[in-house]
Structure 1
Amino acid sequence: MISIKGLSKYFTSNKQRITAVDDLTLNIKEGEIFGVIGYSGAGKSTFVRLLNRLEDPSDGQVVIDNQEITKLNAKKLRLARQEIGMIFQHFNLLWSRTVRDNIAFPLEIAGVAKAERQERVQELINLVGLSGREDAYPSQLSGGQKQRVGIARSLANNPKVLLCDEATSALDPETTNSILDLLVDINEKLGLTIILITHEMHVIRKICNQVAVMEQGKIVEQGEVLDVFRRPKETVTRKFVEQVMGADDEDESVSHLIDTYDQGIIIRLHFIGETANQALISQVAKKFDIAINILQGKITQTQAAAYGTLFVQVEGDSEEINRAVSFIHDETSVEVEVVRHAE
């Protein structure tokens, strides 16, 4: 659907060249919700503006639905942009226009007839949950309602791609979740490909299929969200994961558990996907003559699946403990590791 090759953007400041996007290459599948995360200055907002040529690239190419955006002349680019919707952090609404008229604006520019325009606007108002607010002005709306207007406006021309540049950064957590739920609903109903730019890992965790991590204009890590959460490779990625999971000083944690609990064995269980929601502990406790004490753990939910880690202390006859550990290893999809053996 979207192919990006060798994309770069340079700016000149005080006779020095500044690289905002540096030789970036990506492929994004049709219908995917693809997240791009990075701290301020990483180049992510410049990157998203290159996709619809609000910024012209210095090098490289962008191909969307078999059309090379980077080679289009002004007239063809205007037509191509109708298939690329965009929503912004600060809404960018026309303050002198009502909700209805804001949504209708891109249709007016496209020359859509009035009757068809009115019908389309009402469809979008219903889709984004703004029924009854059609005649309100932006100053009369909450932040979440303003962003819903922005989303509806971006969908007016039936785009194939929706670009979201920090679309929830100006919103409170509850409103953020409602907007993310709306984006998922739109993705499922319309089959839109969504590219989500953010600096908040919980946004990536909640709705994205894939994520690319940007730092100093480059993509330093990329993959399925669940894999990136489970095994972050780069320092910047680990910092983002800690936004959701907390700092993971696992070696220190294991040492503390070993020093604190001196009976039985201590095992670490890794839950992935459906197993994160299974009652494994109670199942094992009933099946084997052992005592299980949950020491600590954490679990999170990504768009693809849940995952988490649990430390437990197991006491009982050593042979029975071994049978229980073998059962978990052989008969379930939970990964098990003995981190402290019986004395």
Structure 2
Amino acid sequence: MISIKNLSKIYKSKNRDDVTAVDNIDLSINQGEIFGVIGYSGAGKSTFIRLLNRLEEPTDGKIIMNEKDMTNLSNKELRNERQKIGMIFQHFNLLWSRTVFDNIAFPLEIAGIPKEQRKSKVQELIELVGLAGREDYYPSQLSGGQKQRVGIARALANDPKVLLCDEATSALDPQTTDDILDLLVSINQKLGLTIIVITHEMHVIKKICQQVAVMDNGKVIEQGEVLEVFMHPKEKTTRRFVQQVMGEQVEQSPIHYFVKNYESGKVLRLHFVGETANQAIISKLVKRFNVEINILQGNITQTKDGAYGTLYVHMDGPEEVVNEAIKYIQQTSVELEVEENA
């Protein structure tokens, strides 16, 4: 487990006000899970991830990783612990004068690994990340996705227990992003690595993460299981991220636009999770109750732990019948919110 307690980073300035980039963060990350940290630019997430391996020095707090307090290590101890922490970057950070093979071998050279052992390890990693046949290519001869695969292989060279990903897919096109995310999931499953993903894209979170923390102004404002955060976002920032992948625009949503067109009935928001996404709830309601149902807006998306969908409907009919239909929905596994009485 990674335990982060009261972690803060304050940048001091003589001529301006101090800047608090990370503000008193507490997080627990389970071994072997993929944990996402999401926030907009300036939220403090990149500073946060650099604090974990002390590329940035914390102002306050503790980071317990691999059963060591990262904030209380000597320089020699820190060098040893960093070998157990891999890191991949947004812009790859490859050595452009070295081949794919030599880029991946570089951390092994620094660690003093014998040549034959290095060769065997690098070849194993090249196979793992899908770069077989490109060992002698230079970075300039590779696509963006291939460059990131080199970065991932290099980060795995010293058999780390933790992999830090700082906006690792934000420079890639959507299809390549999905390919790299699939690779990270595969690595997580094969090697049992704990992976911490920093991103501003909710698509990344929903596709591969089990847990997520939402950052804003240096603070963690919301955290939990990805599916739970999707279903019940508490903070405005979180709701905006969820809307990214659900295709909802606040100013165009049924709550703010459709409901004013109805003189009776109720606008409902239905949440479908996992197997409930396959339930024919609308047809059952129409058959069972004397109500009219108008579908206003809906969407479904896939998270790592199952499908999540929302459906806005306007239900009209005699008030007592509408209320009975609502009670019927509440007895199913479909979650329901009455958005507004029309």
Task: Please indicate, yes or no, whether the TM-score normalized by the shorter chain is above 0.5.
Answer: yes
Give the whole-Å Cα distance in 2 for the aligned partners of 1:40 and 1:258: 34
More displaced, 313-322 or 151-160?
313-322
Counterparts of 1:28-177 in structure 2 under 5 Å? 28-177=29-178
More displaced, 211-220 or 171-180?
211-220
Q: Structure 2: which amino acid aligns with 1:238?
A: R
Q: Structure 2: which amino acid aligns with 1:301?
A: Q
Tell me: CA distance 1:266–1:60, structure 2 relative to 1, closer, same or farther (3 Å).
Answer: closer
CA contact (8 A) 2:250 2:256 kept: no
Gaps of 5+ in 1: none
Residue-by-residue CA offset, 1:110-146 (whole Å, 9 max, x unaligned): 1222222111111111111111111100000000000
More displaced, 302-311 or 155-164?
302-311
Aligned-pair distance for 1:109? 1.2
Residue 10 (1) aligns with residue 10 (2): yes
Residue-by-residue CA offset, 1:187-227 (whole Å, 9 max, x unaligned): 11111111111112221122111111222222122222222
Counterparts of 1:198-217 in structure 2 under 5 Å? 198-217=199-218
Aligned-pair distance for 1:308? 2.1
Residue 277 (1) aligns with residue 269 (2): no
Identity of aligned residues (%): 66
Tell me: CA distance 1:339–1:243, structure 2 relative to 1, closer, same or farther (3 Å).
Answer: closer
Residue-by-residue CA offset, 1:301-327 (whole Å, 9 max, x unaligned): 222222222234567899987776554
Tell me: CA distance 1:260–1:218, structure 2 relative to 1, closer, same or farther (3 Å).
Answer: closer
Give the whole-Å Cα distance in 1 for the aligned partners of 2:314 and 2:238: 31
CA contact (8 A) 2:254 2:312 kept: no
Give the whole-Å Cα distance in 2 for the aligned partners of 1:157 and 1:85: 8
Give the whole-Å Cα distance in 2 for the aligned partners of 1:89 and 1:214: 19
Q: Secondary structure at the match of 1:253?
A: coil
Give the whole-Å Cα distance in 1 for the aligned partners of 2:257 and 2:2: 48
Q: Secondary structure at the match of 2:183?
A: helix
> Equivalent residue for 2:250?
248
Give the whole-Å Cα distance in 2 for the aligned partners of 1:12 and 1:341: 52
Q: Secondary structure at the match of 2:12?
A: strand
Counterparts of 1:181-196 in structure 2 under 5 Å? 181-196=182-197
More displaced, 211-220 or 320-329?
320-329
Give the whole-Å Cα distance in 2 for the aligned partners of 1:189 and 1:329: 41
Give the whole-Å Cα distance in 2 for the aligned partners of 1:180 and 1:86: 15
RMSD: 2.7
Tell me: CA distance 1:42–1:257, structure 2 relative to 1, closer, same or farther (3 Å).
Answer: closer
Give the whole-Å Cα distance in 1 for the aligned partners of 2:237 and 2:266: 35
Give the whole-Å Cα distance in 2 for the aligned partners of 1:304 and 1:201: 15
Gaps of 5+ in 2: none
Tell me: CA distance 1:328–1:20, structure 2 relative to 1, closer, same or farther (3 Å).
Answer: closer
Aligned-pair distance for 1:276? 1.4
How many residue pairs match? The answer is 340
More displaced, 106-115 or 188-197?
106-115
Give the whole-Å Cα distance in 2 for the aligned partners of 1:47 and 1:166: 12
Counterparts of 1:332-343 in structure 2 under 5 Å? 332-336=332-336
